[in-house]
Protein backbone atom coordinates (compact mmCIF):
# COMPACT_ATOMS: atom_id res chain seq x y z
CA UNK A 1 0.00 0.00 0.00
CA UNK A 2 1.46 3.33 -1.02
CA UNK A 3 1.66 6.32 1.28
CA UNK A 4 -1.28 7.99 -0.47
CA UNK A 5 -3.33 4.78 -0.32
CA UNK A 6 -2.76 4.52 3.42
CA UNK A 7 -3.69 8.21 3.82
CA UNK A 8 -6.87 7.60 1.79
CA UNK A 9 -7.69 4.66 4.07
CA UNK A 10 -7.14 6.79 7.18
CA UNK A 11 -9.51 9.43 5.78
CA UNK A 12 -12.19 6.78 5.11
CA UNK A 13 -11.73 5.36 8.62
CA UNK A 14 -12.26 8.81 10.17
CA UNK A 15 -15.76 8.83 8.68
CA UNK A 16 -16.68 5.71 10.64
CA UNK A 17 -18.09 6.71 14.02
CA UNK A 18 -16.88 3.40 15.49
CA UNK A 19 -13.30 3.65 14.15
CA UNK A 20 -12.98 7.39 14.86
CA UNK A 21 -13.65 6.94 18.57
CA UNK A 22 -10.34 5.14 19.15
CA UNK A 23 -7.45 7.20 20.52
CA UNK A 24 -4.31 6.34 22.42
CA UNK A 25 -4.90 6.70 26.14
CA UNK A 26 -2.31 7.95 28.61
CA UNK A 27 -1.08 4.42 29.35
CA UNK A 28 -0.51 3.72 25.65
CA UNK A 29 1.28 7.06 25.18
CA UNK A 30 3.58 6.37 28.11
CA UNK A 31 4.24 2.88 26.77
CA UNK A 32 5.23 4.35 23.39
CA UNK A 33 7.50 6.93 25.01
CA UNK A 34 9.16 4.39 27.29
CA UNK A 35 9.68 1.65 24.68
CA UNK A 36 10.09 3.71 21.53
CA UNK A 37 8.21 3.42 18.26
CA UNK A 38 10.59 0.86 16.77
CA UNK A 39 9.97 -1.65 19.57
CA UNK A 40 6.21 -1.06 19.50
CA UNK A 41 6.16 -1.67 15.74
CA UNK A 42 8.14 -4.90 16.25
CA UNK A 43 5.38 -5.98 18.63
CA UNK A 44 2.86 -5.00 15.96
CA UNK A 45 4.62 -7.12 13.36
CA UNK A 46 4.49 -10.10 15.74
CA UNK A 47 0.78 -9.51 16.50
CA UNK A 48 -0.02 -9.40 12.78
CA UNK A 49 2.09 -12.46 12.00
CA UNK A 50 0.68 -14.53 14.87
CA UNK A 51 -2.92 -13.32 15.11
CA UNK A 52 -3.94 -12.17 11.62
CA UNK A 53 -1.66 -13.78 9.03
CA UNK A 54 -3.09 -17.33 9.12
CA UNK A 55 -5.87 -18.01 6.61
CA UNK A 56 -8.21 -18.89 9.49
CA UNK A 57 -6.92 -17.25 12.70
CA UNK A 58 -7.96 -18.73 16.03
CA UNK A 59 -10.90 -16.86 17.54
CA UNK A 60 -11.11 -14.55 14.54
CA UNK A 61 -13.07 -11.46 15.47
CA UNK A 62 -12.02 -11.75 19.11
CA UNK A 63 -8.24 -12.06 18.88
CA UNK A 64 -7.44 -8.36 19.35
CA UNK A 65 -8.04 -6.80 22.78
CA UNK A 66 -9.59 -3.33 22.84
CA UNK A 67 -6.81 -1.91 25.02
CA UNK A 68 -3.56 -2.82 26.75
CA UNK A 69 -1.08 -2.03 23.95
CA UNK A 70 -0.84 0.88 21.49
CA UNK A 71 -0.95 -1.54 18.55
CA UNK A 72 -4.23 -3.10 19.75
CA UNK A 73 -5.86 0.34 19.84
CA UNK A 74 -4.41 1.18 16.42
CA UNK A 75 -5.67 -2.13 15.00
CA UNK A 76 -9.24 -1.28 15.97
CA UNK A 77 -8.91 2.30 14.75
CA UNK A 78 -7.60 1.15 11.36
CA UNK A 79 -9.84 -1.86 10.74
CA UNK A 80 -6.89 -4.23 11.17
CA UNK A 81 -8.24 -6.17 14.13
CA UNK A 82 -9.64 -9.28 12.42
CA UNK A 83 -9.89 -10.86 8.99
CA UNK A 84 -13.44 -9.55 8.52
CA UNK A 85 -12.30 -5.96 9.09
CA UNK A 86 -9.25 -6.51 6.87
CA UNK A 87 -11.60 -7.60 4.09
CA UNK A 88 -13.95 -4.65 4.61
CA UNK A 89 -11.42 -1.85 5.07
CA UNK A 90 -8.27 -3.10 3.34
CA UNK A 91 -9.71 -5.33 0.62
CA UNK A 92 -7.68 -8.33 1.85
CA UNK A 93 -9.86 -11.41 1.47
CA UNK A 94 -10.20 -13.89 4.32
CA UNK A 95 -9.41 -17.55 3.79
CA UNK A 96 -5.87 -17.14 2.54
CA UNK A 97 -2.72 -16.40 4.52
CA UNK A 98 -1.50 -12.81 4.51
CA UNK A 99 1.51 -12.26 2.29
CA UNK A 100 4.56 -10.46 3.64
CA UNK A 101 3.48 -7.47 1.51
CA UNK A 102 0.02 -7.52 3.13
CA UNK A 103 1.61 -7.61 6.57
CA UNK A 104 3.95 -4.72 5.74
CA UNK A 105 1.05 -2.65 4.38
CA UNK A 106 -1.00 -3.24 7.54
CA UNK A 107 1.99 -2.32 9.69
CA UNK A 108 2.47 0.90 7.67
CA UNK A 109 -1.15 1.90 8.29
CA UNK A 110 -0.80 1.15 12.02
CA UNK A 111 2.38 3.24 12.16
CA UNK A 112 0.75 6.15 10.30
CA UNK A 113 -2.26 6.08 12.63
CA UNK A 114 -0.09 5.96 15.78
CA UNK A 115 2.02 8.90 14.58
CA UNK A 116 -1.09 10.89 13.69
CA UNK A 117 -2.84 10.14 16.99
CA UNK A 118 0.24 10.99 19.05
CA UNK A 119 0.31 14.40 17.39
CA UNK A 120 3.94 14.81 18.40
CA UNK A 121 7.26 13.24 17.67
CA UNK A 122 7.39 9.71 18.98
CA UNK A 123 10.87 8.58 19.97
CA UNK A 124 12.14 5.74 17.79
CA UNK A 125 14.09 4.32 20.69
CA UNK A 126 13.38 4.33 24.42
CA UNK A 127 14.04 7.54 26.27
CA UNK A 128 17.20 7.41 28.35
CA UNK A 129 17.03 8.53 31.93
CA UNK A 130 19.29 11.31 33.14
CA UNK A 131 21.97 9.95 35.44
CA UNK A 132 23.35 13.20 36.81
pLDDT at residue 121 above 80?
no
pLDDT (average), residues 94-107: 95
From the list 129, 124, 131, the residue with the least C-alpha distance to 33 is: 124
- Burial (Cβ within 10 Å: 0-12, 13-18, ≥19) of residue 52: buried
Q: What is the pLDDT of residues 63-77, one digit of tens each?
A: 888 888 999 999 999
Q: Furthest-apart CA pair in the chain: how many Å?
A: 56
d(CA 77, CA 23): 8
Q: What is the pLDDT of residues 1-38, one digit of tens each?
A: 566 777 888 889 999 999 999 999 999 999 998 999 99
pLDDT value at residue 5: 73
pLDDT value at residue 132: 55
Task: Report the predicted TM-score, pTM, of the whole model to 2 decimal places.
Answer: 0.87
Amino acid sequence: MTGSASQDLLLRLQKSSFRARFHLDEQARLYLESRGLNAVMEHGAAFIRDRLAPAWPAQDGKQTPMRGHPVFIAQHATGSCCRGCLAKWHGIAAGKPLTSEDQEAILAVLRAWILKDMGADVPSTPAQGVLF
